[in-house]
């Protein structure tokens, strides 16, 4: 029973990681860069809904909408101002810029909201479900997180595989120059990728803070790193890989938390990552890169 309970919280946390990891992996696949500011977009999303719904008292759905739209705009803005001027620059320059953007967002939040944690009120107020005479407790947050994540992942998969823009994204990710010669506007495709990734980050932020209701300017940092780990674990650049990696990292973390040690759980997550990468350097579902002959 205990195992089941760990598994459910692991699945729920893992699906949040998966949503965040999708942003990392899509941006990596299409823009060929690691957007280390991605984790902090989660934090911004959570603050937006905190301001709109908790401070201003507007309905929760208004807060959710504001958060998703705000983060989408933020993601596009970051791309336009910080990364677009560096297109064609060395990847190291872009990486450092991304870390800079991450610190910028954290410190901006620190200036506006201060360092004291805000208590985030969950978007659903319902008593958890108790099964087996109280042996197994399932929170509504976990159920919501899991179902929302599954829906989003299905929608995203359909979008990527079927839609015109999704095909353009896959084409740009495979061969940017050839895609351009097919008339695809690469800049627009990259902007769209950032928009989608940031919207997912907002959703992830709302779900995460509903389950773990303390909000500080550094709330996004650790889940961001974990999600990045998940993306690498699943094979960076691969969308099913990010989903699988996220869920596995969440489950491993929760099981380690429950059975081994709370303090060691992060170390165990990263140890598993190292072992997987030693055995399979491209990640679980990573593609082998074919050298052009």
Residues numbered 101-160 forming contacts with another protein, rule: CB under 8 A: 155, 158-159
Answer whether 36's CB lies under 8 Å from 102's CB: yes
Residues numbered 194-253 forming contacts with another protein, rule: CB under 8 A: 195
The least distance separating another protein from the CB of residue 76, rounded to whole angstroms, comes to: 10
The least distance separating another protein from the CB of residue 289, rounded to whole angstroms, comes to: 11
Q: Which residue number, 101 or 168, has a Cβ lying nearer to another protein?
A: 168
Q: Is 73 in the site for another protein (CB under 8 A)?
A: no
Count other C-beta atoms under 10 Å from residue 79's C-beta: 26
Q: Is 292 in the site for another protein (CB under 8 A)?
A: yes
Strands 129-131, 118-119: pairing kind:
unpaired
Q: Is 165 in the site for another protein (CB under 8 A)?
A: yes
| Cβ density class 94-120: b for 16+ within 10 Å, e for less | beebbeebbeebbeebeeebeeeebeb
Question: Within a 13 Å sphere around the CA of 134, how many CA atoms are in the beta-carbon half?
Answer: 0
Region from 17-25, 45-53, 173-181, 247-255 binding another protein, contact rule CB under 8 A: 173-181
The C-alpha atoms of residue 36 and residue 87 are separated, in whole angstroms, by 16
Answer whether 63's CB lies under 8 Å from 48's CB: yes
Q: Which residue number, 27 or 184, has a Cβ lying nearer to another protein?
A: 184
Q: Which two tokens stand for residue 193?
A: 């990728």
| Chosen residue from 1, 111, 177, 289 binding another protein by CB under 8 A | 177
| Chosen residue from 1, 90, 111, 164 binding another protein by CB under 8 A | 164
Q: Is 171 in the site for another protein (CB under 8 A)?
A: yes
Burial class (CB in 10 A: 0-12, 13-18, 19+), 138: middle
Region from 8-16, 182-190, 205-213, 241-249 binding another protein, contact rule CB under 8 A: 182-190
* Angle, alpha carbons 71-157-189 (nearest 5°): 55
| Chosen residue from 93, 112, 154, 174 binding another protein by CB under 8 A | 174
Q: Is 175 in the site for another protein (CB under 8 A)?
A: yes
Closest C-alpha to 128, from 118, 139, 113, 141: 139
Q: Is 80 in the site for another protein (CB under 8 A)?
A: no
Number of residues that bind another protein (CB under 8 A): 30
Region from 102-110, 177-185, 201-209, 211-219 binding another protein, contact rule CB under 8 A: 177-185
Q: Strands, DSSP E only, in 3-138?
A: 118-119, 129-131, 136-138
Interface with another protein by CB under 8 A: which residues?
A: 155, 158-159, 162-165, 167-168, 170-171, 174-175, 177-186, 188, 192, 195, 287, 290, 292-293
């Amino acid at each position: 029973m205990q195992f089941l309970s760990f598994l459910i919280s692991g699945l729920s946390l893992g699906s949040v990681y998966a949503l965040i990891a999708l942003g990392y992996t899509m941006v990596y696949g299409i823009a060929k860069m690691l957007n280390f500011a991605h984790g902090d977009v989660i934090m911004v999303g959570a603050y937006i809904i905190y301001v709109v719904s908790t401070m201003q008292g507007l309905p929760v759905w208004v807060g959710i909408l504001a958060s998703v739209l705000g983060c989408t705009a933020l993601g596009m803005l970051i791309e336009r101002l910080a990364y677009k001027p560096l297109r064609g620059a060395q990847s190291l320059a872009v990486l450092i810029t991304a870390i800079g953007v991450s610190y910028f967002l954290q410190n901006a939040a620190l200036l506006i909201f201060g360092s004291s944690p805000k208590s985030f009120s969950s978007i659903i107020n319902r008593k958890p479900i108790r099964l087996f005479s109280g042996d197994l407790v399932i929170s509504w947050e976990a159920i919501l997180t899991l179902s929302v994540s599954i829906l989003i992942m299905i929608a995203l998969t359909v979008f990527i595989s079927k839609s015109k823009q999704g095909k353009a994204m896959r084409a740009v990710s495979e061969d940017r120059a050839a895609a351009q010669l097919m008339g695809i506007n690469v800049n627009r495709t990259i902007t769209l990728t950032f928009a989608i990734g940031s919207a997912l980050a907002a959703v992830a932020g709302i779900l995460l803070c509903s389950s773990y209701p303390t909000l500080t300017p550094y709330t996004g940092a650790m889940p961001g790193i974990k999600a990045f780990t998940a993306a690498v674990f699943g094979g960076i650049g691969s969308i099913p890989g990010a989903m699988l990696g996220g869920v596995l990292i969440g489950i491993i973390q929760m099981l380690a938390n429950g059975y081994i040690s709370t303090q060691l759980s992060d170390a165990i997550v990263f140890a598993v990552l190292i072992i997987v990468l030693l055995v399979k350097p491209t990640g679980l579902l990573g593609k082998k890169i074919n050298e052009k002959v």
